Chains A and B, each alone.
Chain A
Amino acid sequence: MKPLSRRTLLRGSGAALALPWLEAMAATGPGAKRAKAPVRMAALYMPNGIHPGMWTPAGVGREFTLAPTLTPLEPFKKSLIVATNLWNQGSKGGDGHYVKLSGFLTCTTVTKTLGVDINCNGISMDQVAAQRVGQLTPFPSIELGVSPVTTGVDRNVGYTRVYGSHIAWSGHTNPLAREINPQSVYERLLRATKPAAGNGPRNDAQLLDLVLDDARQLRAQLGRADQVRMDEYLSVVRSLEERLERATTPAQRKWKPRVAIDPAAKPEAQPKDFADHVRLMMDMIALAFQTDSTRIATFIFGNEVTNQNFSFVDGVKGGHHSISHHMDDAEQMRQYQLINQWHVAQYAYLLGKLAAMPEGESNVLANSMILFGAGFRDGNKHDPHNLPILLAGGGGGRLQTGQHLIYGPDSPLSNLYVSMLDAFGTPVERFADSTGPARGVLV
């Protein structure tokens, strides 16, 4: 029997569901072997640091007890690595917030500027991976958040707030814009697998050809600084063109996802509140991974310095940033910890969601690596020593989970990224200030 294409199925069913028919999609016949599910990778970033006394587990190695802030992760303890004593040297100094977030996945020091010299001086680890294997999925990566870039520039400290809102950098001067509307993410994922009516991808590609021509001609007339902008434009149009081309040619992927997207399950465009919004974005990450729309995602819970009102959490009254400046006041610290714990609970929600998605004989979580962290430890001090770092999921069997790993003081966070890139199948010799893989992470 000829294996069915995914599109055929979508046309037929219109719904997206894990069904037995999907077994038919696996290539059959002599020599065809069921391909192994790929590894997925996400990074979740929490702004404004943590209550330092309530985070680190007691015990070390496989024998450890979760500290209060991490208790929502109890059901996933066996899938979890808690890493202690990692730091991000590159984000030392500068200001208390912007350099921490923008340098979190690049492990570099961003250039201080209100805009004109914007430069993170590196590429973020997710994009290192995306640039190597992104062509295998409809989207090389997705970048998500819940709030728009904060208005204005911060003249108190001399940084553009663009730095406080972007952790994914595809080039030194290319922060990747985030999608914050869950419905729009959903429609985007859907369109990639099920082209909308209209021109169709082939004709869209023809349009883009002309546009690229325009841009190339124009580029020749421009000064050097403007050429850089036009190059950016050429590059983003080309990336769309490539995607459309992939949509018109049969997938080169050996592995095919077992589910498609359910067009009926569209989330609302304007979630009713912040908590709901975060949940919907977690759902979108899970959906993107489950359907293999992308294998790489980054998400930020809020822009740095956010004063998001957390009074919706029992026992908290006030805004995130102001509470994070706790001044060692017991009451402030109690609330701060509750806010941290709420974030960890959302992380646990995503882990649970992925764990509940079967994939072959295992599940999507077992084939994922989900990083959770903040760019500094204590909200009162803003220093990037002993960062709160969690990694969960099996990484396709590559991660040694169920551990509390304690490193020597000030071990590079970039070492963990080296290990993750290895497990992801895109190994690097070095990443930023790395000194090797992080001990004890990989099998």
Chain B
Amino acid sequence: MLRILFLLAPVLLAPAVWAADPFTFAEAQGLLRTHCAKCHGGKVALGGFNFAQFPDEASLLTRSKVWARAGNLIREGEMPPPGNPALSLEDRDRFSTWIATTLHKGACADGITPPAFPLRRLNRNEYTATVRDLLNIPVNAGRNLPIDGAGGEGFDNAAETLFLSPIHAEKYLEAAKIALDYAMRDPKSRAAFLTPQPDARATLTALLPRAFRRPVTPAEIDRYVALFQAAEKRGDTYDEAISYAIQGVMLSPHFLFRLENSTPDYALASRLSYFLWGGMPDAELFKLAGEGKLADPAVLSAQAVRLLKDQRSREFAENFVGQWLSIRELGRDIKPDAKVAGDYYETEVESGIRYEPALFFHEILMQNEPLTYLLDAPYSVVSSKLARYYGMTPTGIRQQPVRFNLPPGSHRGGLLGMAAVLAVSSYPTRTSPVLRGKWILESLLGTPPPPPPPNVPELKEHEGATPQTLRARLEQHRANPVCASCHSRIDPLGFGLENYDSVGRWRETDAGQPIDASGVLPDGTRYRGVDELKKVLLSKKKQIVRNLTGKMLGYALGRGLTMEDECAVDQIVTAVERDDYKAHTLITEIVRSVPFRTATVRQESKP
């Protein structure tokens, strides 16, 4: 019973990313008695929650979901409700950290039994990649599908938010027609999915297992052959009739959904390919699945590395990085103002800026370099125009972005020097130390600041303010203790990036005033400039890699992490740390983790 509760408990907290020392049980009891007893103690139990029913730490585990919620409500300042004395941010942190640690320890104590993979449809990108590989066409078949929202760890492949609207059915029908129209006319494509001589049964016998990503029964083939025959009977040509049958295949839920109910080895092959390629498995994966070899951890690791080294893994890098770091919003909701953006909107510059983080991340993966390069690296991946935009001399590079060793004093190297990151955390017309600090806390450290309390308006930070008054105003704002509690964490991180303007160009002055890029962190650490800020963040590399690991595991699983998944994250991070933060280790540890292999390890994981 206990186990079931763990499985269901959502993890909104970031366990093990301890911002503060957790309370002891006695301290927590003290806080609850002082601030919560009126509504949740003794005889009263508003919302069905009475803390007096939990005599010790172990008893929290019997209602972990309720306690996880209590921790979130207190962390986010929703409890105690308005009209009661507010808690200090430190108490909120220490309390919610206490809950997170307690539940986390409890969840990990008796092994990991992850939930089954939820049924989910292919998202827009996966659909496009799958159609491309199935029919061997260079066409973006999913172009007209609605853009998917995100759930879970923040990715659009999360089962929970991949809902269906009537428009999807319409667009799938349309997309299948467009894709097949193209494919039937292209000899290269025809060769990939049609038999040399017209033979509907042979064609469908070969196509169906690929389309459904698993072996199929003769009865299944018959159904689609019948479609072909129906079309032929009404006078369609062979091409028209086979195309019609394949449209049926492409509308089937077996094609449109990822199903993991019947064939664990094939399911694992799909999990691997959709994780690292964003598309369907290739012949080698199918073969290994058919031979029952894929579940072998050594084979799984080797395949993961093979997939990474294939160019298709760029799809993964783009989808993952674009969402993890919010880069995808560039050109969507976030568009730098053309009047201040200089060369930003030059064709090759803008695309170079948008792709740089993903290409850089991909290069780290391909070369098995340390993940700490994300914080500081000797190279980036730029085109000649982007190099020039960054003020460097682009020797030896051209239009195509390539790995480029950074000259000394380039002020680049690592994510924080990338224009995409700097622009996505700015306002359209100017920089914002608050947005940038928030971006670092959320995207890198995995500790998003709590929302501002109700009725305390957001920072008085006006568009168009001069930097001098902006910094002064931020300092004044932090003099207010209510604001200071959070902003003393946020702003000082953002100040370190002030040498970059709102589109990521280096600057020494702003509006005639010299830039002050120094900051004092809440623990008293002082730093000056982005290079020292990077050192500060490198000292927190384990926390940053833990955050990255959680995100990537959530992406790989296509769902939000449970408390037990967080235990797997701990194990992965330990292994990655032991291997000097090598990128391949992160990937291989994820695919070998219990939650990723779930169905195949379900038996062996339990004593």
> B-contacting residues of A (Cβ < 8 Å)?
95-96, 113-118, 140, 143, 147-153, 155-158, 160-162, 165-166, 170, 173-181, 184, 188, 198-199, 203-204, 206-208, 210-211, 213-215, 218, 221-223, 225-226, 229-230, 232-233, 236-237, 239-240, 243, 302-303, 306-309, 311, 317-319, 322-323, 325, 327, 329, 331-332, 380-382
Contact = CB atoms under 8 A, between A and B. Distances in A.
Given A149-B150, A184-B144, A303 B448 contact: no
Which of A162, A222, A302 counts the most B-chain CB atoms under 10 A from its CB?
A162
B230 A206 contact: yes
Which of A143, A207, A302, A325 counts the most B-chain CB atoms under 10 A from its CB?
A207
Contacts of B85: none
Given A207-B251, A331-B462, A153 B150 contact: yes
A125 to B, nearest CB: 18
Interface string B125-154: 000000000000000000010111111111
Contacts of A325: 457-459
Which of A150, A166, A222 counts the most B-chain CB atoms under 10 A from its CB?
A150
Contact of B12 (A158, A230, A237, A332): A158
A207 B72 CA distance: 48
B50 interface: no
A225 B118 contact: yes
A160 B428 contact: no
B275 to A, nearest CB: 19
Contacts of A206: 227, 230
A311 B429 contact: yes
B163 A318 contact: no
A327 B173 CA distance: 50
Contacts of A176: 165-167
B312 interface: no
Secondary structure class of chain B's binding surface, majority of residues:
loop
A317 B116 contact: no
A162 B253 contact: no
Given A160-B150, A176-B165, A181-B144, A332 B323 contact: no
Interface of B: 10, 12, 72, 76, 116, 118-121, 144, 146-156, 158-161, 163-170, 173, 177, 223-224, 227, 230-231, 234, 244, 247-248, 251-254, 256-257, 259, 261-262, 322-323, 326, 328-329, 332-337, 339, 427-429, 438, 442, 448-451, 454-455, 457-464, 559-560
A149 B148 contact: yes
A311 B163 CA distance: 35
A118 B161 contact: yes
Contact of B259 (A95, A218, A319, A322): A218
Given A116-B151, A153-B150, A318-B463, A210 B227 contact: yes
B297 to A, nearest CB: 27
Pairs of residues from A and B, 5 with the lowest C-beta to C-beta distance, nearest first = A115-B151, A318-B463, A177-B146, A148-B147, A162-B149
Given A153-B153, A332-B462, 15 more contacts: A118-B151, A151-B329, A155-B12, A156-B451, A158-B72, A218-B259, A221-B261, A226-B261, A232-B163, A233-B253, A303-B333, A318-B427, A322-B463, A331-B462, A382-B454
A239 B428 contact: no
B333 A210 contact: no
Contacts of B244: 199, 203, 207
Nearest to A214: B252
Secondary structure class of chain A's binding surface, majority of residues:
loop
16 contacts: A151-B328, A174-B163, A178-B146, A203-B231, A208-B169, A210-B224, A225-B118, A229-B119, A237-B169, A309-B336, A311-B337, A311-B339, A318-B429, A319-B429, A327-B458, A381-B455
Contact of B152 (A115, A237, A381): A115
Contact of A156 (B164, B168, B322, B442): B442
Contact of A323 (B76, B121, B256, B463): B463
A239 B177 CA distance: 19
B472 to A, nearest CB: 16
Nearest to A165: B149
A188 B10 contact: no
A318 B160 contact: no
B525 to A, nearest CB: 24
Contact of B167 (A160, A177, A198): A177
B593 to A, nearest CB: 20
Contact of A223 (B116, B177, B337): B116
A174 B167 CA distance: 12
B396 to A, nearest CB: 34
Contact of B146 (A179, A237, A243, A306): A179
Contacts of B118: 225-226, 229
Given A175-B163, A229-B119, A309-B337, A150 B151 contact: no
B428 A307 contact: yes
B147 A149 contact: yes
Nearest to B226: A210
B204 to A, nearest CB: 13
Contact of B448 (A156, A198, A211, A243): A156
A152 B248 contact: no
Contacts of B442: 155-156
Contacts of B334: 307
A157 B451 contact: yes
A329 B462 contact: yes
B147 A322 contact: no
B150 A229 contact: no
Nearest to B162: A229
Given A236-B169, A319-B427, A309 B161 contact: no
A117 B158 CA distance: 12
Contacts of B12: 114, 155, 158
B210 to A, nearest CB: 17
B397 to A, nearest CB: 30
Contacts of B256: 233
Contacts of B166: 140, 176, 236, 239-240
Contacts of A215: 253
Given A199-B244, A318-B463, A233 B164 contact: yes
B151 A222 contact: no
Contacts of A311: 337, 339, 428-429
Contact of B253 (A143, A178, A218, A302): A218
B333 A306 contact: yes
A158 to B, nearest CB: 6
Which of B160, B163, B454, B458 counts the most A-chain CB atoms under 10 A from its CB?
B163
Which of B149, B160, B334, B459 counts the most A-chain CB atoms under 10 A from its CB?
B149
A207 B118 CA distance: 27
A327 B144 contact: no
Given A114-B10, A116-B10, A318-B428, A211 B230 contact: no
Contacts of B223: 210, 213-214
Nearest to A164: B149
A204 B334 CA distance: 40
Contact of B252 (A95, A180, A211): A211
Given A151-B150, A210-B248, A229-B119, A322 B161 contact: no
B154 A153 contact: yes
Contact of A226 (B119, B144, B168, B231): B119
A117 B248 CA distance: 33
Contacts of A158: 12, 72, 76
A35 B147 CA distance: 40
A174 B560 CA distance: 19
B464 A204 contact: no
A273 B46 CA distance: 51
Nearest to B247: A207
B161 to A, nearest CB: 5
A226 to B, nearest CB: 4
A155 B559 CA distance: 15
A147 B491 CA distance: 30
Contacts of A307: 333-334, 427-428
A162 B161 contact: yes
B464 A317 contact: yes
Nearest to B151: A115
Which of A96, A155, A181, A239 counts the most B-chain CB atoms under 10 A from its CB?
A155
